[in-house]
Amino acid sequence: MRHQKILVLDFGGQYNQLIARRVRELNVYSELRPSELSVEEIKRLDPIGIILTGGPSSVYEKNAPYLAKDVLALGIPVLGICYGCQLITVLLGGEVGRAERSEFGKTQLTVHAESPLFDGIPKKSVCWMSHTDRIRTLPDGFTALASTDGCPVAAYGDEEKSIYGVQFHPEVVHTEYGGQVLKNFLRICGARGDWTMHGFVEESVLSLKERLGTGRVLSAMSGGVDSAVAAALVHRAIGERLTCVFVDHGLHRKGEPEEVMRVFRDELHMNLIRVDARELFLNALRGVTDPEEKRRIIGRLFIEVFERQARAIGSVDYLVQGTIYPDVVESGRGKSAVIKSHHNVGGLPDVIDFKELVEPLRDLFKDEVRRVGTELGLEERIVWRQPCPGPALAIRIMGEVTEEKLEIVREADAIFTEELMRAGLEKDVWQYFAVLTDSKTVGVQGDARTYENVIALRAVTSVDAMTADWARIPYEVLERVSVRITGEVRHANRVVYDITSKPPATIEWE
């Protein structure tokens, strides 16, 4: 089935992935593409609407990202957000200049003209602003639709051309009626709302059956949600011709290897092989303290073990990877910046010889992957498993990785997880985990002096992991976690809670 599509052109703003996700949440497929996309390429993609994102540049800066003016003459509805709003203004003959007063954060928005873009939105509401330039003069044919105290043109539109601009950010939750603005724009585009995860599963299964034919397929099963859902989707399509390999490197969270085998081999009856490589990995990590060196060692050994197992299995035609859409976007495309390179974006196929790479989740965001997992009948514990980096607990241990340290952080992490689940907070927090620091402190346990390890707890809220805020977990929950860790985990006598947002920190400690 050919889905209707909204094209989101990326001008480098921090919320750009969020725009694409918000559109999909309204059951309309969206793609995030570089802003320098040609008119011919846009025509080929055949979108029903185009959204121009925000960005850090000023439209008058040298080398500021631009858009071919002809895009605005295609007859396709366009919505410009922040920088995109200002860019439309300049391209069509209006004027943008430095604002007398910059606006950042929550701001009162006043709608003072009727427009389909503001259907169902009250005259006064709260929006999220983040700009230092503002529109001074509108192009011919455009009407100002809304304003704030510091921005006379906070929204505009040309109803005849179906071109609109908003200086605020409708995609962020702080904009009170932002979702309605996006919904109204999709209605202007004539969106049917034909993008659902139930439909995605049905279409993907049919497509995989046709694509894979009678070939044999291999999948690396990490235990994380992405690889699990990708394997489950392919298994639904081809059954026993899929072989999954779970490399047990000894760095997993408590009970993770056993749970992976129970769910996928014993309950879903998938052909899953567990390779015991614990000794190999721990020996290679002995004495290594640099986090990047840990990553390199683990990545290299994982590929070597997987490659060896693939040869042992025999002739395999296809490799399945759990690549998801943010992996592709963050690894950089066109002139887009590389945020961080992902090993699963074109990684393993360079090492192992396969006929073709299969990435059934490549077009999905994380929340969509979870909904696909639910559609496939995977357990909630698998679908909502906490994200874990490829090196797993090795980079949640500061300094050298040892069996003793792994046991400490594994038990502390399990307690943290248990208590958050008991409090019903596991779906409210984007990511949470324990870290074994390289610090020791004096304590008193059992009336005796101790000199033991400090455990740090990390929990964040986020929508896409590009930015994150520390989670305001209730004190009584943190207290229970602390009491249990210091009472049940050997060699731990102090617990601290990380209250740093991203930026300036990252979510992980290493």
- Please give the mean pLDDT across all residues of the chain: 88
Determine whether 169 is an active site residue. Answer: yes
Q: What pLDDT band is residue 351 in, cutting at 50, 70 and 90?
A: very low
Helix or strand holding residue 366 (H, E): helix 366-375
Determine the number of helices (DSSP H) and then strands (DSSP E) in the chain: 14, 18
Closest by Cα among 456, 455, 459 to 474: 459
Determine whether 252 is an active site residue. Answer: no
The fourth-level CATH superfamily of domain 5-189 is Class I glutamine amidotransferase (GATase) domain (3.40.50.880)
pLDDT tops 70 at residue 342: no
User: By three-state DSSP, how is residue 463 classified?
Assistant: coil
Determine whether 244 is an active site residue. Answer: no
pLDDT tops 50 at residue 349: no
Query: 321 near 312, Cβ under 8 Å?
Result: no
The active-site residue out of 103, 131, 151, 171 is 171
- Residue spans per domain, the chain: 5-189, 197-383, 402-497
Which CATH number, 3.30.1360.170, 3.30.750.24, 3.30.300.10, 3.50.50.60, labels domain 402-497?
3.30.300.10
The active-site residue out of 131, 169, 235, 249 is 169
Mean pLDDT score, 425-440: 92
Dump pLDDT digits (tens) for 356-400: 889 999 988 888 999 999 999 988 878 888 777 778 899 999 999
Query: 97 near 59, Cβ under 8 Å?
Result: no
**Out of 3-17, 52-66, 90-104, 285-299, least confident range:** 90-104
pLDDT tops 50 at residue 98: yes
Q: Which tokens hold the place of 400?
A: 């050298």
What separation in angstroms does the CA of 24 have from each of 192, 197, 495? 12, 10, 40
Label each residue of 68-117 as H, E or C.
CHHHHHCCCCEEEECHHHHHHHHHCCCEEEEEEEEEEEEEEEEECCCCHH
Domains 5-189 and 197-383 share a fold: yes
* Cα–Cα dist 145/155, whole Å: 5
Does the domain at residues 197-383 carry the CATH identifier 2.40.100.10?
no
* Cα–Cα dist 432/500, whole Å: 13
Output the pTM of the full model: 0.76
pLDDT tops 90 at residue 329: no
Q: Cβ–Cβ contacts within 10 Å for residue 6, how many?
A: 26
Q: What pLDDT band is residue 353 in, cutting at 50, 70 and 90?
A: low
